[in-house]
Amino acid sequence: MRPILIAGNWKMNLSRQQAIGLVEELLLQVDHFEAEVAICPPYVYLDTISQKIGHTSLALGGQDVYFENAGAFTGEISCEMLADLGCQYVILGHSERRHILGETNAIVNKKAFAALEKGLKPIVCVGETLKQREENQTTDIVLEQLYGSLAGITEKQAEQIVIAYEPVWAIGTGKVASPEQAEEVHATIRQTLATKFGKVTAQNIQILYGGSVKPENSKELIEQENIDGALVGGASLKAETFLGILDRLQ
C-alpha cells in the first residue's frame, strides 16, 4: 500500500506572521491523521517554519530549487540549502514555473538529479492546458513532460520521486478534474512508470493530484486506485481547509 501524501503548496502567499500562525495551527492537529503531510512555504519563511516544526511529523518542502550546487546564480537557492533547512521535499516543474517562468523539461530534469543527490524528494509536476485537453493531447503532453523530466533517472532514484498530475485548467480555477478524469491520467502515468522503471517500483511511486482540491472533493479523488494524495494550493493557506482535506480521508 502506498501511503497517502497531502502536500500544501503555499505559492507566493502569506505574511511572515500569517505563515507562523498557520504552522502553529497545523502542528496542533497534524499527528491525528494517518496521511503524510507536507507544507511548501515561500523560501524566506523556511528557516523560521523549520524551527517551529522541529521533529514533529509535519514535513517541509521547497517550491523550487536551482540545479547548481553553489556559485554566481543571483536569486537562486541550492538543494543543499533546502536540505540544510530541514526540507525533505521540493516541488519541481510546477505549471506556473513552466508557463510563467519558461521552465523546460530539460531544466526540471537537471533539478531532479540535483535534488536526489542531496537527499531531497522531488515532487515532479506534469499537466495539460485546457486547449491541449480539448485537442485530445492530454496523454501526449503529460507523457512528454514525464519522460523529459525523468530522463536518465534510474529505478533506484525513481523510488524517491513523487509525481503530481496537475491539469493547468484546474489550478486555482475552482474547476476540479472529475475523479474519473484524474484517475485515467494517473493510471496512464503509472503504466508509463512501470515501462520505465519496472512494475514493482511503479507501484510504490506516489502520484498526487493537484487542482482545486478542497475538503469537499478530496475523498472521492483520493479513493481512486492510482491517486495517492494531493498537492493543494489555495486550500492549504488556511488550517481549516487544509486540515479539512485530511479529516475527510479518515
Please report, as ranges, the residues that interact with ligand 13P according to CB under 6 A.
Answer: 9, 94, 166, 171-172, 210-213, 231-235
Least distance between ligand 13P and beta carbon 241 (Å): 10
Of all helices (H) and strands (E), which one includes residue 9? Answer: strand 5-9
- Residues 6 or more apart in contact with residue 106 via CB below 8 angstroms: 148
Report the residue number whose CB is nearest to ligand 13P: 233
94 is catalytic: yes
26 or 171: whose CB is closer to ligand 13P?
A: 171
Largest Cα–Cα distance in the chain? 47
61 vs 201, beta carbon nearer ligand 13P: 61
| Residue 2 or 238 having the CB closest to ligand 13P | 238
Q: 186 an active-site residue?
A: no
Choosing from 94, 96, 103, 183, which is the catalytic residue?
A: 94
172 versus 198: smaller Cβ distance to ligand 13P: 172
Min dist CB 164 to ligand 13P, Å, is 7
**Nearest approach, Cβ of residue 6 and ligand 13P (Å):** 11
Select 90 or 201, whichever has its Cβ closest to ligand 13P.
Answer: 90
Residues ≥6 apart with Cβ < 8 Å to 79 = 65, 66, 67, 69, 90, 114, 115, 117, 118, 120
Q: What one-letter code names the amino acid at 124?
A: V
**Closest approach of Cβ 20 to ligand 13P, in Å?**
21
DSSP result, 122-143: EEEEE---HHHHHTT-HHHHHH
117 neighbors 79 (Cβ within 8 angstroms): yes
Q: Are 241 and 215 in contact (CB under 8 A)?
A: yes
Please tell me the chain's helix, strand, coil percentages from 3-state DSSP, rounded to the nearest 5. 50, 15, 35
Burial class (CB in 10 A: 0-12, 13-18, 19+), 170: buried
State the catalytic residue, choosing from 36, 128, 166, 183: 166
**Minimum distance from residue 9 beta carbon to ligand 13P (Å):** 4
C-alpha span between 79 and 87 (Å, rounded): 9
User: Which residues are catalytic, by number?
Assistant: 94, 166
